[in-house]
């Protein structure tokens, strides 16, 4: 039902969770963002489609927040050029600028300290690190608060 409603729009389904305790939670996003009017219209549409079943459960439709981890390729693409935080599966955290995205991985420019030949102190250097999607716990926008 959600995908049918979104068909022909630039809005994408990011996540859908349904269980007996919290009901149905739908998260959507687009390159330009999603306004509250769109979410309200989608909510009304789903309630109409569900009919009397909608009365028996909570239905929440919203967009992702700035602090939510990226879940779709589109979310990575819309954040190219922005500061991101990446937590790798090995527990290492990286902060840098998201520079590219493809179907299997994404790349982040990070500043690292490296020993420079002939220098006593380490120097800052930008390195591009490539992460396969399945090798990170999360990647998200860096608010820098």
pLDDT tens, 62-112?
999 888 999 999 999 999 999 999 999 999 999 999 999 999 999 999 998
Question: Which tokens belong to 107?
Answer: 């790349």
Please state the domain count of the chain.
2
Can you give the pTM of this predicted structure? 0.84
Say yes or no: 41 and 99 in one domain.
no
Counting every residue, how long is the chain? 145
Indicate the SS3 state at residue 59.
Answer: strand
Choose among 86, 61, 67: nearest CA to 11: 61
Q: What is the mean pLDDT of the chain?
A: 92
User: Cα 104–136–73 angle (5° rounding)?
Assistant: 40
Using pLDDT thresholds of 50, 70 and 90, give the confidence band for residue 54. low
Of 63, 84, 112, the residue at which a domain comes to its end is 63
pLDDT of residue 141: 95
Of 63, 86, 111, the residue at which a domain comes to its end is 63
CATH number where 111 lies: 2.30.30.100
Task: Tell me whether residue 120 is in a domain.
Answer: yes
The Cα 121–Cα 124 span in angstroms is 10
pLDDT in tens, 130-145: 999 999 999 999 988 7
Say yes or no: 103 and 131 in one domain.
yes
Is the pLDDT at 22 greater than 80, yes or no?
no
Strands 136-141, 122-132: pairing kind: unpaired
Of 41, 63, 85, the residue at which a domain comes to its end is 63
Is the pLDDT at 15 greater than 70, yes or no?
yes
């Amino acid at each position: 039902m959600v995908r049918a409603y979104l068909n022909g729009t630039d809005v994408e389904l990011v996540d859908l969770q349904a269980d007996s305790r919290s009901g149905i939670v739908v998260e959507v996003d687009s390159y330009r963002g999603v306004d509250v009017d769109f979410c309200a219209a989608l909510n009304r549409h789903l309630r109409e489609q569900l009919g009397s079943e909608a009365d028996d459960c909570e239905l929440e439709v919203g967009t992702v927040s700035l602090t939510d981890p990226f879940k779709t390729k589109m979310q990575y693409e819309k954040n190219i050029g922005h500061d991101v935080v990446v937590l790798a599966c090995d527990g290492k955290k990286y902060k840098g600028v998201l520079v590219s995205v493809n179907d299997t991985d994404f790349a982040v420019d990070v500043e690292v300290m490296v020993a420079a030949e002939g220098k006593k102190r380490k120097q800052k250097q930008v390195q591009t690190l490539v992460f396969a999607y399945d090798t990170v716990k999360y990647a998200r926008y860096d608010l820098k608060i």
